[in-house]
Amino acid sequence: MTQVLLLGGTFDAHVLSNRLDAAGIACTYSFAGATQSRREQALPTRVGGFGGIVGLTHYLQAHKISHVIDATHPFAAQMSRHAIAACGALGIPLLSMERPPWQATAHDQWTHVADMEAAACTLRPHHHRVFLAIGRKQLPMFASLSASHHFLLRVVDQPDAPLLPAPHALIVERGPFQLDDELALIRTHAIDCIISKNAGGKDTYAKIKAARQLHLPVIMVNRPSLPQRMQCETPEEAMQWLRSQL
């Protein structure tokens, strides 16, 4: 019997969940519970971590999961590694759905860095006003930097105040974001550098386009590397894979 576990946390996962529901495929949609605001779901959901690889392995067995689709964010590497390990051990087919990374054009000024720590080290004293749209989790990494940098922080949920870099301005807002709005935001805050994860997709790409248009440098954090696994890019491809499995 088909019983899918969909590991979510992205807009594409939401789109796929609607497709699975419409196709009548039995599926549980799993959220980490990291954000307070969640989109309405047609599928049955579960919220919260599984308890590492061991916990996930038990969950997969207890719920007789036949297929796992990992549609987590490309930077949610721990969850993806756990899924690879647990599915590998149990012989459960696993598909990763991940949108392709953004590519620099000849008009971009990107500095590629391996992780967020390297991004913080790459900031230079002349980067006075930095747009940091990287989520809540890694903001504390910037809290110890010199107060010569002023940060514009944009997050989905209100972060813990003591962990924030000072000085800063805070915007609590969920994408998608439009180019005109990003241009206005960058101009209003006199931003001279942007730090971004290479998330891929359209929803948060407008700030990268705006940087290109305004000739601003971008410190681009590369995706974490993961072991090889079956991959696709879109919900359509994920549905095709699942149908080919049934």
Q: What is the distance of C-alpha 244 from the center of its chain?
A: 27
- In the three-class reduction of DSSP (H, G, I as helix; E, B as strand; rest coil), residue 225 is classed as coil
CB 151 within 8 A of CB 165: yes
CB of 79 to ligand NAP, least distance (A): 4
Looking at the Cβ atoms of 52 and 167, the one nearer to ligand NAP is: 52
Task: Tokens 């301005």: give the residue.
Answer: 169
> What's the closest the beta carbon of residue 47 comes to ligand NAP, in angstroms?
7
Identify residue 158 by its one-letter amino acid code.
Answer: Q
User: Which residue, 192 or 233, has its beta carbon nearer to ligand NAP?
Assistant: 233
* Cβ 147 to ligand NAP shortest distance, Å: 26
Contact 217, 193 (CB under 8 A): yes
Closer residue to ligand NAP (CB): 184 or 230: 230
Give residues in contact with ligand NAP (CB under 6 A): 7-10, 30-32, 34, 49-52, 55-56, 72-73, 75-79, 82, 135, 137, 197
45 or 214: CB nearest ligand NAP: 45
d(CA 111, CA 165): 22
Which residues lie closer than 8 Å to 192 by C-beta, 6 or more apart? 126, 127, 128, 129, 130, 216, 217
Cβ(78)–Cβ(85) below 8 Å: no
CB of 128 to ligand NAP, least distance (A): 25
Q: How far is the CB of 107 from ligand NAP (least distance, A)?
A: 26
Nearer to ligand NAP, 63 or 187 (CB): 63
